[in-house]
């Protein structure tokens, strides 16, 4: 169930040239399932900005964000102690039992964000995931150490080969796995679905209005009919997705 609350910015840490992590403290009780997201209100901007939850503990949650526009550029400048109005507990989240005992967590860029908390919850549920994280160059890599610290095998791919396996995530899917959870650029998600016939869940990113199902701004057509990415998503089963040309 969605909640609205005021959160305090505890950490705003630069991870790479464009990516930062933000930790906010407050009432996190509505954040229940990995893959859910939050909507953060920023001074001077009308629409809230959505971010997948990367991690949570008893009194705080973390999101990762790439500076890509007015909202995220503003977010990067906010100091510790800033109070932010946040809607929490949005969206459906991943199904921990949908993709077998040895799923791949496939992330591209900031798409790795929801997969980190998912990895933790899968481990608690007795599932043994592996992480497959794709970046452009070695300088763009973040959260590889955090995934490894969970004790799971973590493969890195870079497009230019400057770290890990040279190529795209689909070039590193040759070992056995039971299914996949994926989040990242649309082209990557589609390539993963084309490269794999295993069960899969995908977290989609669409430009949103409200974030809680009222405005119909983010509805996509699926094989199961129209779905609001903010409400019936952002996580969809791979079979539902209609890839547009």
Partner 1 sequence: MGRLSVDLCGIELDNPVIPASGTFGYGYEFAELYDINCLGTFSFKGTTLEPRYGNPLPRIAEAKAGMLNAVGLQNPGVEAVIRDELPRLAKCFHKKVIANVSGFSIEEYAEVCRLLDNEPLVGWLEVNISCPNVHGGGMSFGTDPKAAAAVTRAVKAVTTKPVILKLSPNVTDIVSIARACEDAGADAVSLINTLLGMRFDLKTGKPILANNTGGLSGPAVFPIALRMVWQVSQAVKIPVIGLGGVSSADDVIEMMMAGATAVQIGAANLIDPFICRDIIRELPARMDHYGIAKISDLKGGSR
Residues interacting with partner 1, by CB under 8 A? Answer: 1-2, 4, 41, 45-48, 70, 87, 206-210, 212-221, 226, 231
Half-sphere exposure (Cβ direction) of 92: Cα atoms closer than 13 Å: 18
In the complex, what is the shortest distance from the CB of residue 37 to partner 1, in angstroms, rounded to a whole number? 15
DSSP-assigned states of every residue in 147-159: HHHTT--EEEEET
Question: How far apart are the C-alpha atoms of 127 and 2, rounded to whole Å?
Answer: 28
In the complex, what is the shortest distance from the CB of residue 204 to partner 1, in angstroms, rounded to a whole number? 11
In the complex, what is the shortest distance from the CB of residue 90 to partner 1, in angstroms, rounded to a whole number? 11
- Within 125-182, where are the H helices? 144-149
In the complex, what is the shortest distance from the CB of residue 235 to partner 1, in angstroms, rounded to a whole number? 17
Question: How far apart are the C-alpha atoms of 68 and 183, rounded to whole Å?
Answer: 17
Nearer to partner 1, 97 or 223 (CB): 223
Nearer to partner 1, 28 or 105 (CB): 28
3-class state of residue 131 by DSSP: strand
Nearer to partner 1, 100 or 209 (CB): 209
% helix / strand / coil in the chain, to the nearest 5? 20, 35, 45
3-class state of residue 117 by DSSP: helix
Nearer to partner 1, 104 or 210 (CB): 210
In the complex, what is the shortest distance from the CB of residue 139 to partner 1, in angstroms, rounded to a whole number? 22
Nearer to partner 1, 167 or 213 (CB): 213
């Amino acid at each position: 169930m969605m909640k609205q609350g005021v959160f305090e910015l505890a950490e705003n840490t630069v991870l790479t040239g464009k990516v930062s992590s933000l930790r906010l403290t407050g009432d996190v009780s509505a954040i229940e399932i990995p893959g859910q997201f939050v909507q953060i209100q920023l001074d001077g901007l009308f629409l809230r900005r959505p971010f997948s939850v990367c991690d949570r503990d008893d009194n705080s949650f973390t999101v990762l964000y790439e500076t890509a526009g007015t909202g995220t550029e503003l977010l990067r400048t906010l100091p510790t102690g800033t109070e932010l109005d946040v809607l929490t507990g949005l969206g459906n989240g991943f199904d921990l039992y949908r993709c077998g005992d040895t799923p791949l967590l496939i992330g591209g860029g900031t798409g790795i964000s929801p997969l980190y908390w998912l990895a933790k919850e899968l481990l608690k549920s007795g599932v043994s995931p592996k992480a497959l994280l794709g970046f452009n160059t070695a300088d763009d890599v973040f959260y590889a150490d955090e995934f490894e610290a969970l004790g799971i095998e973590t493969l890195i791919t870079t497009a230019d080969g400057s770290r890990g396996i040279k190529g795209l995530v689909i070039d590193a899917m040759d070992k056995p796995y039971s299914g996949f959870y994926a989040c990242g650029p649309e082209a990557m998600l589609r390539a993963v679905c084309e490269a794999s016939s295993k069960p899969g869940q995908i977290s989609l990113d669409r430009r949103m209005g409200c974030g809680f199902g009222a405005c119909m701004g983010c509805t996509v057509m699926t094989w199961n009919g129209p779905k609001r990415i903010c409400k019936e998503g952002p996580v969809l089963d791979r079979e539902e997705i209609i890839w547009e040309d």
